[in-house]
Amino acid sequence: MLKGMDPRLSPEVLYLLARMGHGDSVAVVDANYPAYSMGVPVLRMDGLDAAQAVEVITSVMPLDRFVEHPVRYMVDKPGEPLREAARAVMEAAEKAEGRTIDGGGLERMAFYDEGRKTQGIIVTAETRSYGDFLLTKGTWPEFDPD
């Protein structure tokens, strides 16, 4: 156990996040995502839904301020309203960052293509539909490009 560290962060997840550089991405996915066929490391955060996992991850990992969408999520069709899981994840990310986050939707196959480019995939116990997210790491201490 580490002081000041959320105990839901496993050593493996901490290692993955610490190895990432700014601009690298990690996927946080639902229980139905084909994670093991993506060809990148797979870690698990069983017992947490996607929003809880993002809350824990963003407690130690800053989100990128230089990209248009530091949080991207799977959608059925471009421009559709946010689904329940996406709303919860965006709220968790904004709370952790203390700022408004502009999320972006990716159609399923495009999301899978991007998932293959991540530093790792974290599988959660999320069961709500389209509970799949890509988080882009920023820098710390924060550098505001504006």
Report pLDDT for 144.
60
Residue 66 lies in a domain: yes
Question: How many domains does the structure of the chain reveal?
Answer: 1
Q: Does residue 13 belong to any structural domain of this protein?
A: no
pLDDT value of position 2: 81
pLDDT for residue 145 = 58
**Domain annotation covers residue 100:** yes
10-residue averages of pLDDT along the chain (146 residues) = 89 97 97 98 98 97 96 94 97 96 96 98 97 95 61
Q: Which domain holds residue 105?
A: 22-136
Contact by Cβ (8 Å): 15, 107: no
Distance in angstroms (rounded) separating the CA atoms of residues 145 and 65: 7
Residue 60 near residue 5 (C-beta atoms within 8 A): yes
List residues with catalytic annotation: 22
CATH number at residue 106: 3.40.1650.10
pLDDT value of residue 141: 67
